[in-house]
Structure 1
Amino acid sequence: MAATIVTRFAPSPTGRLHLGHAHAALLAWQAAREAGGRFLLRIEDIDPVRCRPEFTAGILEDLAWLGLDWDGAPRVQSAHLPDYRAVLDRLRGRGLVYPCFCTRADIAREVAASGHAPHGPDGVLYPGTCRRLSEAERRVRIAGGEAYALRLDMAAALAGLDGPLFFEEADRGRLRCDPARFGDVVLARKDTPASYHLCVTHDDALQGVMLVTRAEDLLPATDLHRLLQALMGWPVPRYRHHGLLLGADGKRLSKRDNAPTLAALREAGRPPGEVRALAASQVRP
């Protein structure tokens, strides 16, 4: 008997949902419901500065208004920080994570001085300054209370693999990954106890997510997520990266640009069925 499909919608409560969120939620919800599967809701609120409880409440309200139901209680990431800390400890115990004491200003100065600034999907690649520190120096700086982030030693992580990594992308087939282009990516900071990359990959594995539907701008991140899955022995879901919802100006709808929220559309008298249709009709492949 085939396994029941499990999908999820995983917004960050940094603002109210807009049509782009509605499209993403609908895709995941429909995929699960049409197959008799499970649709999960996850609140990705690891960032304590930008995430707010009232936005979490708004997410629940907006999804219910749209007519989308979910299975089980939502997983709230901020309530599970020990889970992510345990992953970091395992990686660190294998020599795959190291403390980085560089500030953003430090990195910018070093990159400027070198005259060479290679870029990856998340921006300028870290030049590896703290990777070269001795264990003794790291211990002294940590004991002295110096703030640090935790970075993945990309070269060491890739060296432990048996071969290249792949994932299945809907309508595109088997794609080969290139996680090296992220460089020594940050997995935790002082103000953010675990990165999006680590938390989302951990939770997809923990919750048995079998199909990840998300916007196409996250397609490059899948290479890094596959590496974390391989390092931790986690199962690999299938992926479907959908097109972005665009506004009249051709730009992606976003909270940052004050895209019309579902709450505003509701207050303007737009019925949920009309908003669902609008979310689907405006997507660009």
Structure 2
Amino acid sequence: MIPTPDDARRRHYGAFYSRPAVGADETVLLALGNCQAESLRLVVPASVATTVRIPPVHELTADDLPFLAAWLGRADAVVAQPIRDGYRGLPLGTRELLEQTRPGARHAVLPVIRFAGLYPRHLIIRPPEDPSANPPLVSYHDAGVLASAAGLRLTPLSVEAVRAVAAESIEALRLREERHGTVVASDLFAAPSFDLMRTINHPGNPVWVALGTRVLDRLGLPGSAADPGLPLLDSVHAPREAAVIEAFGLGDEPSASWTVEGRTVSAEEVRAAHLEWYAAHPGAVAAGLSRHASTLALLGLAS
């Protein structure tokens, strides 16, 4: 019998689908959200809490809800990213999830971490016609390529622009923390380095260890987070620009290529593929220019 994708999924998230088979004396911690929540889970030592690998919220289905409810009803502590009520037509909002926990369960909210200071030209765009659509090769949009698709241009990246985008990005993160009452992460980027971020939304291990310790403290759990011994969110590494290295006094060498699942992909290859994609998705161009108008202005968008 040939295994189905559902069989593979159930093996990958085996504990989640087995329902809460844990001892009464075990402290169970759940981390809910996207790949960032899973990274947070991986820095929680087994000596502190038993954790459960849970599908990211954008993959959860109605069939998963009974298993999720069973774990929420058993959990001693829950860490969740900010998720709106009724997400994807399911009761997966942060408030809706926390309401399913038992009395006395402890809660913490984890901010969605995006820091653009190290990759100031990179953007995340959700095309209005299909918010899940991404361009080929890498899902990050380059402001210069976006400008070209719109018949515009960017001035060469300057040290001043790098620092301005970094400050804007930290302030945006700080405001998200305040809005959602999250554990604080924004101060972790006061001295940027490439160890901290692999892309604009893939933090490296030092961020997760520091943030994990803060989460455990917020939850009142003993001990500290620990590096799991493997690189987290390591599948994609963005190019490193000379102006960024100069702006923050880093000792790294510039790089014009992406690393995707261990494969080198040139910036020119990405540019060509993305321009072709923009031609087929003009709504993405308009959405990007609108959503990121402030950042584009800092980068020197010109006609």
User: When the two structures are superposed, what TM-score results if normalisation uses the length of structure 1?
Assistant: 0.28
**Higher RCO structure (Cα 8 Å, ≥6 apart):** 1
User: When the two structures are superposed, what TM-score results if normalisation uses the length of structure 2?
Assistant: 0.27
